[in-house]
Amino acid sequence: MSDLFDTLKGKIEGKGKRIVFPEAEDERILTAAGRLGTERYVRPVLVGNEDAVKQKAETNGVDLSSVDIVDPETYGNMDDMVRRFVERRKGKASEEEARDILKDGNYFGTMLVYMNEADGLVSGAVHSTGDTVRPALQIIKTKEGINKTSGVFVMVREEEKYIFADCAINISPDSQDLAEIAMASADTAALFDIDPRVAMLSFSTKGSAVSPETEKVGEALEIVKQQRSDLMIDGEFQFDAAFVPSVAEKKAPDSPLEGKANTFIFPSLEAGNIGYKIAQRLGDFDAVGPVLQGLNQPVNDLSRGCNADDVYKLAIITAAQSVE
């Protein structure tokens, strides 16, 4: 695990990346922000009342000397932010409504990212996933060619690293969704220095069963091949045929993956969520994430059960996602 984050720190060192934390008065956020500021890999930006944040930090023994605090009530560029928010929402909010909406730390913090006053945002220690992701979808929006964001876990055990997706967002992806998830996951794999070998998973291997569910996976594979001929990708596979060379030799002897996949695209959220938790609990893998992908600028969602170390790690990942 330490090697993984050493790699990410190498990507962001000296780049001055600014990461926004809308939940500034949560002690886990404060502790992580103080650590990040001291180490100087990331410049934390806390959103909240300055006096209240400083009082909370003092109570918890947190040094905020290398951390910025931005209070929406006294923010100097609020008029410009309101104008740009109204423009971005294309008339779905009036100026008066925008001023009220931007009192919400998640919306305010997301606008800081959109206006390039920060490079990414981490939230969710207190707020729900919806509260974190909704402003990002409305303001930052998804990259060209991607209609939906998705969530991956990086599964780490000693020297092993794998990508599992989508394990967090899309309940029942269609073939287009699966294709987008596969392409975005390959890019995420590269961020973690994984040379992506992408397997489209199913309960069937290469037509051993035929159903709407398996056909959906096959259609997704063809979409990816048409759009990203550079990717090493194949399917549909049962997990063992994607991961075990001896099984692949029997079930899919002509596959270029040869049973050596490292990036696994699950056919549904149900399968992905169950799969990563089995690997985590029975296989002793560390599950890093979920890391959101497909957005124009990085926004990531914490679990409300997170600790300060989780916040710290997700901030490092978010900063690395923002590196061109």
DSSP letter for each residue of 254-283? T-TTTT---EEE-SSHHHHHHHHHHHHHHS
- Kindly state the average pLDDT of the residues 43-58: 94
pLDDT of 233 above 70: yes
pLDDT on residue 91: 80
pLDDT of 251 above 90: yes
Cα–Cα distance for residue pair 311/321, rounded to 1 Å: 15
Q: Taking the CB of residue 126, how many other CB atoms lie within 10 A of it?
A: 16
pLDDT on residue 87: 94
Percentage of the chain with pLDDT > 90?
A: 89
pTM over 0.75: yes
Structure token digits, residue 25: 């008065």
| Mean of the per-residue pLDDT values of the chain | 94
- Kindly state the average pLDDT of the residues 229-249: 96
pLDDT of 2 above 80: no
What residues have CB less than 8 Å from 168, skipping those under 6 apart? 129, 150, 151, 152, 153, 269, 272, 273, 289, 290, 292, 301
- Kindly state the average pLDDT of the residues 150-173: 94
pLDDT on residue 64: 92
Element (H, E) at 228: none
Helices 27-39 and 50-59 pack at an angle, to 10 degrees, of 90
Chain centre distance of CA 35: 21
pLDDT on residue 254: 95
pLDDT of 1 above 70: no
- Kindly state the average pLDDT of the residues 37-45: 94
pLDDT of 324 above 80: no
pLDDT on residue 245: 97
pLDDT on residue 242: 97
10-19 pLDDT, tens per residue?
999 999 999 9
pLDDT of 323 above 70: yes
71-93 pLDDT, tens per residue?
999 999 999 999 999 999 998 99
Closest CA to 242 of 269, 223, 221, 224: 221
209-229 pLDDT, tens per residue?
999 999 999 999 999 999 999
Cα–Cα distance for residue pair 178/268, rounded to 1 Å: 9
pLDDT band at 3 (very low <50, low <70, confident <90, very high): confident
Element (H, E) at 132: helix 129-135
268-313 pLDDT, tens per residue?
999 999 999 999 999 999 998 889 999 999 999 998 888 999 999 9
- Kindly state the average pLDDT of the residues 237-257: 97
pLDDT on residue 4: 86
Cα–Cα distance for residue pair 253/64, rounded to 1 Å: 58
Task: Give the C-alpha distances (Å, rounded to integers) separating 123 from 15, 94, 109, 267, 271.
Answer: 22, 26, 9, 27, 26
Which comes out higher in pLDDT, residue 291 or 3?
Answer: 291
- Kindly state the average pLDDT of the residues 240-245: 97
- Kindly state the average pLDDT of the residues 136-154: 92
Cα–Cα distance for residue pair 321/324, rounded to 1 Å: 8
pLDDT on residue 163: 97
